[in-house]
Amino acid sequence: MKPKWSENSLPTRMVLYALSSFSCAFIRRTIWTLTVSLVPLLAFSALSDGIAQQPCPQGFSVEGIVTDPSGAVIADAKVEIAGSSQATTDPAGQFTLSCLSGNQVAITVQADGFADASVTAAPSPNLVTHLNIQLQIANLATNIQVGDDVTALDADHGVGTRTLSTRDVQQLSDDPDDFLRELQAIAASGGGMPGSALLTVDGFENASAVPPKGSIASIRVNPDLFSAEYESAPYLGGRIEIFTKPGASPYHGALFFTDSNAIFNATDPLSATATPAGKQRYGFEISGPVVAEKNGFALALEKRDIDEFNVVDAVTLDAEGNPSPLQQSVSAPQRLWIASARDDWQAAVNDSMAVSFTANVNNLGNQGIGGLTLAEAGYSSLVSEYDLRLNNTLTLGTNILHETRIGYTWKRTANTPVSMNPSLQVAGYFTGGGATSQNLDNREQDLEADDDLMVTQGKHTWKIGAQSLGFFVHDYDPNTFNGAFQFGGGSAPVLDANNNPTGQTTTISGIEQYRRALLSLPGGSPTTYQLTTGTALVPLTQWRLGLYAQDAIKLAPQFSVIGGLRYQLQTSPNSFSNFSPRVGLSWSPDKKSTWIIHLRAGIFHFPNQQSFATEVARLNGVRQQETTVYSPSYNNPLTPVSGSIHVSAVDQFPRSLIQISSFQTHVGIERTFPGGWHLETTLYWYSSWNQLLSRNINAPLILGTCIGIPPDPIAALMSPRPGAPNENVIQYQNAGHSSGNVFVIAADRPTGKWASISGAYVHVNGKSNTSDASGPQSSYSNIGENSRDNWVGNNAVYANGSLHLPRKLDFSSILDVRNGTPYNITTGTDANGDGNFNDRPSYASAPGSGAYSTPFGLLTTNTVNGNVPRNLGTMPTVMHLDASLSRAFTLNPKDKTRTLIFSARSANLLNHTNITAVNTVLSSSAIGQSLAAETARRIELGVRFAF
């Protein structure tokens, strides 16, 4: 039975309606969390409606934000209704005009250095009209006609578009890592791939590190993702656009310090001992004029000292050679610096420029450790990024805006291993020895040049632009130069009490195989030994270019259409025929625009990442030579012994490799209700082709599935190949595909006087036959490969809100709950000899050697090209609930900019165990067992002095 809707109980009804789509198990995991985090906000919001409306029963209110042409907020702007109300924008650029009467009011906005703006606003059905007023450079007039919410039909607005003001940003976490995770959750609430939204800063397309939070003016999440201006398809994760603050006319600054002491924090959920993690953050920010009304600057510096732990949860051999659990908590200190400097100047009345420099330097200790990876296989890492960027905005009259951006980025990742010994991987049990990355030193310089022109003429808004990005890579990558042993288990002779073969065979695990190798017993040869030699340095240059043109036509106040075309090319690998048409319309069936319908469709192309090109350049058989020895001697792996086989490998692109392509459609409906509530529902459908898939085109000709007999990898390697013997040719092909649909239902009340809240339920169905250019288990068959996409967690709930409590207390919370993503079950061996250790098991009909009872049924490793489908397993549910409570004190009543803010924040408030890795190797007999998890609950206390 469908729920009976009533506007008076809309918030509760929307939440219950969204939750009704969940499975019972998912409801049990989330319903009490939603109750704790959302019901108080909903109740307080409903109460605030009554409080806010009672003083002005016959009038309406106007709330809004004032920004400059770049999207940065403008503080201290005067907002006035002649002979009536007036207000001044706060540091977040926001204002409120209350208790207005009449059918419409004329509003004037003034700010130093900007042209006056005249705005006409009419009452909305919920008696709260929302405005977003953009001021132009001085001497340029602006006139705007405003109804309920004209942004709903703007070209850059789609279902799920959100703009976070400075005040909204301050409600999110101060810690940059948690801050980015929360932004990604907000972006994912639009239906995209969790954690994969593209982050841009001040319009630059090159993915960037998050700038210091204090330097952020506003953030726009998920603008109209079907715009021809954008490259990425919506299902790839969405878009987060950060705009930093220009230098202020008066001097402003802040000092801050936060401490997350170990006594407040919870122990790692997988650790048997206490893990007293701690974190400190401190820094400053300052901005002001250099030359009054001509030139301003902004500086910010932040330091983080983090003392976390990586937890090892493995199985090794004890002194007697018996398998023994090993659990360690290894200190992983991090020392992180973030700095930014910006200078703005007014070159002319209509010409503004900004140059900025940011630095992000991270020193990380004991990385790569945790789960099955022992401390000896770790490394320390230096990760740095420096960005120098120039932005020029030229206003050519009242209807032409031209913007040019040039940026240069330096990136470096340098690793120092704990051990130089060969890597040692015992599949499903532990990974020891030295890190395979060894002394990796990856240096990259990126050059970006963008040019955009926006022209407004009558009903048309034209946007034309070019985006170019060059990658200059110098990758010193000695991957497996130290050698790597692999023990995957498999067929071996049965040994008697004196360790002599009995003449019978059995199936042994990887750790038993390793034990025999240490004791030089029969069946103790490693599965493989891999060694790479040659020149470690790999140079590569890749260029990308995108050209776009778009026209948004407002045919009527309630009807607009948009059409655009995008063209892309890239080098290394070359791809030149990538045309992407986009179309859409927005229509409101009523004059007050309480209903809005969006339709969108388009073709998208996504470049092949330079990391794949780097790998092909590295392992081309000339620069570096990779050799894999099957069944080698453990003591002298490169010395040929009876039964061992040496196989070489090269990576390559085919003659033609094109960009990943997809077709997307979107239907969205928005509804605005009295009381400020806004409901939207969206359905995406996507189909992607030309995805990268790697395949060994010279693999041994092993066809079909064999079940019940222990595999013999050596026999497989002796089978005929299409080309040269004993050589693997790994080719990247455009043979991958995916398709699916995304359903989103969301509700929000964003600008209440006392509370704001938003929430979304997302349901995803998606299948693919590849992920991240991975290959199939068999080079000659795709059976079982088409399965759930790696990123798909079928159900998710995202919610966030804030309360303005009595005594000037501010409370905010953000919730992210989603089903776990799939994982692939493997045998730990390479039974078909194609060089990939991604072989899957088969379903077994009876118990026996090599058969394991699992939650998925009886599975066996005694198989070649197993019949278990890809991504059969599912990770546990992920849940984050972050909360923040703050109080601001004004130190000088005459100067409200001098404030002292005390805050308490918590990440993972409910201390939910968020698993990041599980055991996926069947022969370990611990399939699905948790190996690693995110940090437990962290509490941070802070103080901020602003002036």
* Average pLDDT value for the chain: 85
Among 106-115, 815-824, 918-927, the minimum mean pLDDT is found in 106-115
Q: Is the pLDDT of residue 152 over 90?
A: no
Kindly list the distances between the CA atom of residue 641 and the CA atoms of 631, 632, 644, in Å, as whole numbers in the listed order.
9, 7, 6
Euclidean distance between CA atoms 515 and 509, whole angstroms: 10
Q: Point out the least confidently predicted range of 315-319, 393-397, 509-513.
A: 393-397
For residue 714, give the H/E element and its range. Answer: helix 713-717
Checking if the pLDDT of 639 tops 80, the result is: yes
pLDDT of residue 44: 41
Q: What is the pLDDT of residues 189-234, one digit of tens each?
A: 888 888 888 999 888 988 777 887 877 888 889 888 999 999 988 8
Instruction: Say how far apart CA 751 and CA 756 lie, in whole Å.
Output: 6
Question: Using an 8 Å Cβ cutoff, are 301 and 283 in contact?
Answer: yes
Q: What global pTM score does this model have?
A: 0.83
User: What pLDDT, on the 0 to 100 scale, is given for residue 139?
Assistant: 42
CA pair distance 423, 435, nearest whole angstrom: 6
pLDDT given at position 141? 37
Give me the pLDDT at residue 53, please. 38
pLDDT at 547 over 70: yes
For 345-386, the pLDDT digits (tens) are 888 878 889 999 999 999 999 999 999 999 999 999 999 999
Q: pLDDT at position 107, please?
A: 85
Lowest mean pLDDT among 246-250, 500-504, 914-918: 246-250
pLDDT at 70: 52
Q: Is 61 helix (H, G, I), strand (E, B) or coil?
A: strand
Predicted confidence at residue 24, as pLDDT, reads: 42
Q: What percent of the chain has pLDDT over 90?
A: 57
Angle, CA of 135, 139 and 142, to the nearest 5°: 40
Say which residues have a Cβ less than 8 Å from residue 851's Cβ, sequence separation at least 6: 844, 858, 859, 860, 862
Is the pLDDT at 567 greater than 70, yes or no?
A: yes
pLDDT per position as a tens digit, 244-291: 877 766 788 899 999 998 888 999 888 888 888 899 999 999 988 888
* Residue pLDDT, tens place only, 795-846: 999 998 888 888 889 999 999 999 999 999 999 899 999 999 999 999 999 9
Task: Work out the number of other CB atoms within 10 angstroms of the CB of residue 485.
Answer: 22
* pLDDT (tens digit per residue) in 576-603: 999 999 999 999 998 888 899 999 999 9
Per-residue pLDDT, 272: 84
Mean pLDDT along residues 696-701: 95
Nearest to 825 by CA among 873, 773, 874: 873
Mean of pLDDT values over 639-662: 92
Full 3-state SS string of 571-639: CCCCEEEEEEEEEEEEECCCCCCCEEEEEEEEEEEECCCHHHHHHHHHCCCCCEEEEEEECCCCCCCCC
Between 345-359, 694-708, 743-757, the lowest mean confidence (pLDDT) is in: 743-757
Bridge partners, residue 606, by sequence: 660
